[in-house]
């Protein structure tokens, strides 16, 4: 099923994964009567003029004080989260930092330990959390007041991965005491596994009833920053 949203962007809606997520979610009230997310994709000049006003209210004001940011690896989640946190005075939480042990080459914590850190982080009243870890998403959504999905192309994610490994030693969201290095497993994850994740995320966002936005390109992401007066 397809429909055209307010910006004239053709949006594909698929119910398969969204129905599965809804059935598994222990917080069904979050998944009813979802409002369509504002999407920024292939926006022309005239559309952007109208989008800037909508973006200011929807992206920041209406997203509230507990914002989830999800998206493929190396899509810009960490940077966006830190910029929003600074603009709104929110605590920043990078889930990769909670999931991995500091001063290691990205060695994961025991699952129970990570879950405890995650659940402690979402107790607060003012935060922006970036990261996926869908296993813990239901309780995150139960606390969140707004949701952002970054859905930039795979080529962009690969470019950002190589750039951060080779040139960004003090990047946002880096692991304490760790060092990014190019790994074949990560390249494969971005190029192969992430493609399936993108489809799931696109279907999932239609089933989330929180105020939300979907950003589908680097140009759209840049427009989002400009529209809200955000600086990277």
pLDDT given for residue 186 in this prediction: 76
pLDDT given for residue 49 in this prediction: 38
pLDDT given for residue 84 in this prediction: 96
pTM of the model: 0.68
Q: How far apart are CA 208 and CA 119, in angstroms?
A: 20
Phi, psi at 190, each rounded to 5°: -65, -45
For residue range 19-52, list pLDDT tens digits in order: 343 444 444 433 333 345 555 544 433 333 333 3
pLDDT given for residue 76 in this prediction: 84
Q: If you average pLDDT over every residue of the chain, what do you get?
A: 75
pLDDT given for residue 73 in this prediction: 82
Give the CATH superfamily of 8-227: P-loop containing nucleotide triphosphate hydrolases (3.40.50.300)
Domain ranges of the chain: 8-227
Cβ pair 86, 155 in contact under 8 A: no
Give the 3-state secondary structure of residue 232.
coil
Q: How far apart are CA 130 and CA 79, in angstroms?
A: 9
For residue range 175-217, list pLDDT tens digits in order: 665 566 677 787 777 777 777 777 788 888 888 999 999 998 8
């Amino acid at each position: 099923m397809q429909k055209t949203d307010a910006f004239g962007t053709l949006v594909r809606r698929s119910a398969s994964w969204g129905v599965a997520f809804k059935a598994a979610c222990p917080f069904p009230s979050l998944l009813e009567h979802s409002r369509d997310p504002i999407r920024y994709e292939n926006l022309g000049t005239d559309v952007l003029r109208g989008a800037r006003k909508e973006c200011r209210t929807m992206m920041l004001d209406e997203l509230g004080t507990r914002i989830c940011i999800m998206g493929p690896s190396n899509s810009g989640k960490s940077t966006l989260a830190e910029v929003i946190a600074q603009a709104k005075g929110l605590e920043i939480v990078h889930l990769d930092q909670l999931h991995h042990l500091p001063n290691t080459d990205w060695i994961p914590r025991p699952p129970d330990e990570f879950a405890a850190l995650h659940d402690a982080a979402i107790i607060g009243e003012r935060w922006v959390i970036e990261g996926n870890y869908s296993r813990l998403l239901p309780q995150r959504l139960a606390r969140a007041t707004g949701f952002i999905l970054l859905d930039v192309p795979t080529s962009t994610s690969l470019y950002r991965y190589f750039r951060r490994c080779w040139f960004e030693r003090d990047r946002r969201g880096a692991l304490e005491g760790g060092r990014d290095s190019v790994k074949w497993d990560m390249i494969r994850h971005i190029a192969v596994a992430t493609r399936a994740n993108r489809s799931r995320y696109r279907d999932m966002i239609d089933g989330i009833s929180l105020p939300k936005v979907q950003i589908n390109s680097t140009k759209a992401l840049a427009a989002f920053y400009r529209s809200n007066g955000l600086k990277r």
